[in-house]
């Protein structure tokens, strides 16, 4: 069997979108957008509509039936004024979400999703659905690009750790060719991944969440394999839906 190409992009700004053609992209924003998207869909949102800009999200919400829409998002980690919800996974409960479409805009995560749309397939990953994502990637023969949202334009600890965990899975499961960022992420995971919650708490993103009173979101983001679902980006219209569920094998090394 030929080697599988696995590339990590530590921030979207380092990614040339044309490289994604014919590949599977995995988008990561552990603190907090992709974790929140997974929570929302697990809580029975029918779909998530990612938007880059606040006005784009408001305009989209105005075109949809009001009772079936949740408008969520943040800037600087804090809920956007006049939005129903912010970007905390704690907010996305079955009571709030069941049967509704979430329109979401965030500082980093929804931008990373936008950067990945040229891939043939786009998956949404967090620690909370790690093994389910691995299951999908194990069955897909296409090259993989892991797109990390980063923090304020720089690589961040939490996204790099998850990227490294995915690289370790690939290296144990099959013959792979890695770019240097994948090797850097793998090294990060080898050094910090076994103390995951502590690593997320001392990260720049974790420190910021503590400063704005959202420290409780950190252990939620570190809850490995809480869900067995894989959200996937669909087109026309652009939306994220659950397209696969179930774990055949736990992939997280205890």
In whole angstroms, give the CA distance from residue 153 to residue 149: 8
Contact predicate 49/146, CB 8 Å: no
Q: Please, what's the b/e burial string for 210-239 (b: 16 or more CB within 10 A of its CB; e: otherwise)?
A: eeeebeebbebbbebbbbebbbbbeeeebb
pLDDT in tens, 206-243: 999 999 999 999 999 999 999 999 999 999 999 999 98
186-198 mean pLDDT: 96
Strands, E assignment, the chain: 4-9, 24-28, 47-51, 69-75, 78-79, 101-105, 121-125, 144-148, 176-178, 229-234, 239-245
pLDDT range class, residue 128, cuts 50, 70, 90: very high
Mean pLDDT score of the chain: 96
pLDDT(155) > 70: yes
pLDDT(254) > 70: no
173-189 mean pLDDT: 97
The pLDDT score that the predictor gives to residue 252 is 85
Residues with Cβ within 8 Å of 107's Cβ and at least 6 positions away in sequence, in order, are 74, 75, 76, 77
- Enter the tokens of residue 203: 């990260």
pLDDT(253) > 80: no
Does residue 32 have a cis bond before it (omega within 30 degrees)? yes
What pTM did the predictor assign? 0.97
In whole angstroms, give the CA distance from residue 16 to residue 21: 10
In whole angstroms, give the CA distance from residue 24 to residue 7: 10
CA-CA-CA-CA torsion sign (221, 118, 156, 194) = positive
Kindly state the helix (H) or strand (E) to which residue 199 belongs, with its residue range. Answer: helix 196-202
The pLDDT score that the predictor gives to residue 2 is 73
Q: Which domains does the chain have, with CATH numbers?
A: 4-245 (3.90.1560.10)
- Of 35, 80, 30, 77, residue with least CA distance to 54: 80
């Amino acid at each position: 069997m030929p080697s599988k190409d696995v590339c990590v992009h530590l921030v979207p700004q380092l990614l040339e979108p044309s490289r994604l053609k014919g590949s599977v992209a995995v988008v990561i924003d552990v603190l907090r957008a992709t974790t929140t998207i997974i929570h929302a869909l697990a809580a029975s949102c029918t779909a998530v509509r990612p938007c880059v800009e606040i006005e784009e999200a408001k305009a989209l919400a105005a075109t949809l039936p009001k009772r079936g829409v949740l408008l969520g998002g943040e800037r600087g980690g804090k809920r956007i004024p006049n939005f129903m919800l912010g970007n905390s996974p704690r907010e996305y409960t079955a009571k709030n979400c069941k049967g509704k479409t979430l329109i979401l805009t965030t500082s980093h995560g929804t931008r990373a999703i936008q950067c990945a749309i040229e891939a043939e397939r786009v998956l949404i990953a967090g620690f909370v659905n790690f093994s389910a994502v691995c299951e999908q990637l194990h069955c897909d023969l296409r090259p993989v690009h892991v797109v990390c949202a980063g923090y304020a334009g720089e690589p961040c600890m939490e996204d790099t750790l998850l990227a490294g965990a995915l690289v370790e899975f690939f290296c144990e499961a099959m013959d792979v060719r890695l770019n240097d960022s994948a090797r850097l992420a793998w090294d990060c995971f080898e050094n910090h991944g076994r103390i995951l919650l502590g690593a997320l708490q001392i990260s720049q993103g974790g420190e910021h969440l503590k400063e704005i009173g959202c420290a409780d979101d950190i252990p939620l983001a570190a809850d490995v394999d809480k869900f067995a679902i894989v959200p996937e980006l669909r087109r026309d219209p652009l939306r994220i839906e659950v397209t696969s569920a179930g774990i055949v094998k736990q992939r997280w090394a205890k």
